[in-house]
A and B are shown apart, each in its own frame.
Chain A
């Protein structure tokens, strides 16, 4: 069984630790190493004035330094923090306890008598998904709880929100597969492929209604409002994909807005929702929201890049699923600047014969992929900046690590 993608990234060099990498970076800049190894390795360090200064310096350094170097070095150290006196910062491990029963609990919410409908609704809750959204929610909840002077443990409502976010996400996937006419997802045939479109739509509607009921049962109307907004955003995002914009400048803005609605809104608002349950400070809600939003956008940008790059090395031909659906994503939009021929193709949604292949070639010849990656890094930096305003905790650091993983995933 394929594990989560972040487990695949250890391209470890032996004996590589975070400290070593940064030492190298510092030397490159001609500065002596002047900070302690504990800065990065200690999971729950209490910020002394010294470490705080170093932390700040580190961030300034990282943000000034071109990401070209940042990327490969982080790749090799992101999964291992081998210090015996600290808790592991691997997000998956930290969230593990809370997530083991997640899918079983979701299935309990899908209370329906007709056996076939039940199996349709449970189809994607088989534990094979990445569960990245619930993971973020759970980590954020714990980090916020600690920040708010409580024990790290999840409140029941926060747990429910983790479930609900995954349910809403799944319901939208089921409908998206019908809209896109997809026949495969997560290695299995889609619901519409097996049972037909009518039943697929009904299954999606049912999951949504179950999510809505679970949401109401938390008993907090503000949380209900925040997450209902997600449902609306998801649909509006899908509508945005129907139309193309004439103007080049408008197109990019449109793309980012659509990306927010379709991907980031769920993560941002789920994070905000868990913050509402534990803290009444609007600034804290904003931190949670902004982290979720920035990570979400970065996640989608990388996804859009992978649509171009992942097929290439393995199959030697494009996956290019987005192009085939007529969608112009980040890499294409950037590539337009170098290959104006792409404009016409975008307007006709790559419908002419040969458009998809030609567009793919143009993109790979351009710096569209790199530019999109840089943009994703920018959003991750912002996410880190935001989350760093919370009190230190293993979970907070895991969330920082998570942004790095978002950037370096290869599938």
Chain B
């Protein structure tokens, strides 16, 4: 484990370096800061990435699904929430991955090795193949959001609504997810680079394993088994949240035939940024509370996982029991207080800073540019709460 003091100090130091914002580390203006960082970044890459490949969305197949989705309105099927997320802009759906891939492509500059990649093909400093890769990354990410929304029919209860609706929702979720993945596969083939196909396909495999772990944690909520330690958490979270971006960043470098070192740095940036971002996201409920918002958080959120590991199985189980109401529902505010009173939150925050720094370290090895600054800002922004 790393030293908490060291990383926190270095975080503060970074934020006062010239050229970056001098906001305090845990400012409450986190979300507006984030939006500004992203919209500045979008300008640099030439057009907003806040829509997925229109070609895909407007296809007959997905239009068909959209039509069928109307039947799900009023049911509890998760697919409806996933679909809503695309229509209403929210922090999770800013197409971050695609944006990062585009920025990195630009930051790395023109190719020195490939004879078939011409400077005149670049738009806003990015090759068409790299743009396509960014789109493909988003397609894969979305496909898995959709596939995550499938429900196990055997666990269905009356309160979920009619079984028929759940079955129908599943069907739509499987089909649309598959459609997106299939488009990703054909898109990958069109990049004319078998190394990239292999790399991104392996990322899909990683995603599957990551989601598999996610599911097994979500189903085990009574606190009776051993928790996982930080290293295991990082490994599993990398699979479900980091591998795709890390490997896409590397692939973007490969497409422009940049050297092994650039590929390694790009991978490193993608990996640490994703982990930092996930930690930030997990920490939100544990930061200064927002009045009026209903409180709830996942028991697989990093602060909770670390807290559990620190407390040990028995104490954790006891705390869970204490936090249950007479009707065996979980009183989240009680559990929140329990977690906040120990070191789980601070461990998560330190880890977040650590990863943010690692990402910064990686990107600063690239030559100075607008795109690089945007990536630095993004890395810094994930360490702000």
Interface residue from A201, A206, A231, A236 paired with B150 (Cβ < 8 Å):
A201
Contact across chains for A209 and B204 when beta carbons are under 8 A apart? yes
Contact across chains for A213 and B202 when beta carbons are under 8 A apart? yes
Contact across chains for B197 and A179 when beta carbons are under 8 A apart? no
B311 CB to closest chain A CB (Å) equals 26
> For residue A224, which residue of chain B has the nearest CB?
B189
Contact across chains for A202 and B211 when beta carbons are under 8 A apart? yes
**Chain B residues touching A, range:** 35 or more
Known: A196-B152, A208-B181. A213 touches B189 (CB 8 A): no
Q: Is A257 an interface residue (CB 8 A)?
A: no
Complex interface: chain A residues within 8 A of B209 (CB): 112-114, 117, 206
Q: Considering the chains assembled together, what is the distance between the CA atoms of A83 and B150 in angstroms?
A: 57
Contact across chains for B194 and A232 when beta carbons are under 8 A apart? no
Q: Is B205 an interface residue (CB 8 A)?
A: yes
A250 CB to closest chain B CB (Å) equals 15
Known: A209-B204, A212-B185. A239 touches B175 (CB 8 A): yes
Q: Is B101 an interface residue (CB 8 A)?
A: no
Stretch at the interface among B166-174, B264-272, B292-300: B166-174
Known: A178-B174, A179-B174. A202 touches B197 (CB 8 A): no
Q: How many A-B residue pairs have CB under 8 A?
A: 129
Contact across chains for A224 and B197 when beta carbons are under 8 A apart? yes
> For residue B149, which residue of chain A has the nearest CB?
A198
Contact across chains for B174 and A225 when beta carbons are under 8 A apart? no
Q: Considering the chains assembled together, what is the distance between the CA atoms of A197 and B78 in angstroms?
A: 14
Interface residue from A112, A198, A231, A239 paired with B64 (Cβ < 8 Å):
A239
Contact across chains for B190 and A225 when beta carbons are under 8 A apart? yes
Contact across chains for B186 and A229 when beta carbons are under 8 A apart? yes
> For residue B196, which residue of chain A has the nearest CB?
A216
Q: Is A361 an interface residue (CB 8 A)?
A: no
**Which residues of B pack against A, CB within 8 Å?**
60-61, 64, 68, 147, 150-155, 167, 170-171, 174-175, 177-179, 181-183, 185-186, 188-190, 192-195, 197-198, 201-202, 204-205, 207-209, 211-213, 215
Q: List 29 A-B contacts (CB under 8 A).
A: A117-B209, A179-B170, A179-B175, A196-B154, A197-B151, A198-B151, A198-B215, A201-B177, A205-B147, A205-B204, A205-B207, A206-B208, A212-B197, A215-B197, A217-B194, A217-B198, A224-B188, A224-B194, A228-B186, A229-B186, A231-B181, A235-B61, A235-B178, A235-B179, A236-B61, A238-B175, A239-B64, A242-B64, A243-B64
Further contacts, 8 of them, CB under 8 A, given A201-B174, A212-B185:
A178-B171, A196-B152, A199-B215, A206-B209, A213-B198, A225-B189, A232-B182, A235-B178
